[in-house]
Amino acid sequence: MDVVVAGASGFIGGALVPALRADGHRVRVLVRREAGGPDEIPWDPTAGRLDPHDLAGADAVIDLAGVNAASRPLTPARKRAVVQSRVDTAGLLARTMAAHDDGPRVLLQASGIGAYGDRGDAVLDEHEPLGTTFFAGVVRQWEAATLPAQEAGLRVVLLRTGIVLAPHGGALGRLLPLVRLGIGGRLGSGRQFWPWITLVDEVRAIAHLLTTDVHGPVNLVAAADRNVDVVKALAAAVHRPAVVPVPAWALRLALQDFSPEVLGSIRAEPAALTASGFRPVHADLPSAAAWVAAR
């Protein structure tokens, strides 16, 4: 396939692009500067600039672009940037693809498992209503930006990604070094469900959905386990204790509006992904933690 990727330099995109190329796909990436070669396409989502002729002949677009919500405090200005960066990119791609019949007919759009908000022990599939947290609101606007492509009959997949486990970066970027030092522990009560997937399975799932007749929201998770069990599994894999809990009040103070993403409970299941025939390489915590530790 001829695939165009937005957000190719990010945490997931950086693993996805070489994997797609290794599988024989032609991959071109969207860049916010002049193109440096035939595999780069210039665009400016803030200004709404994307030449539709640059997408002609492509089969699919994968949009992973968006400001990292966890890298800085969520000030009002940062919140606006988080929302706008997602709505601008998704909206520009959806409108461009919808308006031109010779362009890609598949859009795989990044989204987040925070769509559901804090739902306790309830098991959540893709039919559940969206929540009321800040990030659920982000997802609501983010996914709505793809409506032009959906209404034009394109196959649109909303990739509601869970906590991506990897040796470096991502959700474990700050936690795993502490676990390796033996000073990691549960976050808050530790009873909240964390829906997770390894980076290798995230990449495999996206590649699978490129060619599988699935549309609409898809929970990109392998399983959901309690936070205390996730931390214990990681600690066991690196042969360290996990005995230094972080109290909820400290996380709320430090993370403010991001704290619900850490302390909230989202027991999401991969109903649509499983029904499509996908099977993760790392289907349980011990195998996922062992992969993280071995890398």
**Tens digit of pLDDT for each residue in 33-49?**
998 899 999 999 999 99
Give a yes or no: residue 41 inside a domain.
yes
| pLDDT value of residue 13 | 97
Residue 233, in any domain of the structure: no
Average pLDDT of the residues of the chain: 93
291 inside domain: no
Residue 259's CB is within 10 A of a number of other CB atoms, namely: 19
| pLDDT tens-digit map of 125-172 | 999 999 999 999 999 999 999 999 999 999 999 999 999 999 988 877
Residue 276 domain-assigned?
yes
The reply to whether 163 falls in a domain is yes
What is the distance between the alpha carbons of residues 198 and 291, in angstroms, rounded to a whole number? Answer: 9
Over range 24-30, report the average pLDDT. 97
Residue 255 has pLDDT above 80, yes or no: no
CA–CA–CA angle 214, 215, 217 (5° rounding): 115
pLDDT at residue 82 tops 90: yes
Residue 257 clears pLDDT 80, i.e. is over it? no
**Residue 97, pLDDT score:** 97
Mean pLDDT on 258-278: 93
84-137 residue pLDDT tens: 999 999 999 999 999 998 889 999 999 999 999 999 999 999 999 999 999 999
Q: pTM (2 decimals)?
A: 0.95
CA 174, CA 169: separation in Å to the nearest integer?
8
- Taking 80 as the threshold, does the pLDDT of residue 254 lie above it? no
Q: At residue 233, does pLDDT exceed 90?
A: yes
pLDDT at 69: 83
What is the predicted pLDDT for the residue at 167? Answer: 92
Check which CATH number belongs to the domain holding 34 and give it: 3.40.50.720
Is 109 part of any domain?
yes
Residue 9 forms part of a structural domain: yes
Q: What is the pLDDT of residue 51?
A: 95
Helix segments in the chain, DSSP class H: 13-22, 76-99, 134-144, 147-151, 175-180, 199-210, 227-237, 248-255, 259-263, 271-275, 285-294
Q: Which domain holds residue 21?
A: 2-170+196-221+269-282
- Supply the DSSP symbol for 49: B
Does residue 62 register a pLDDT over 80?
Answer: yes
Q: pLDDT digit string (tens) for 183-224?
A: 888 889 999 999 999 999 999 999 999 999 999 999 999 999
Q: Is residue 229 part of a domain?
A: no
Domain count, the chain: 1
The residue whose two tokens read 């970027």 is 173
Q: By percentage, how much of the chain surpasses pLDDT 70?
A: 100
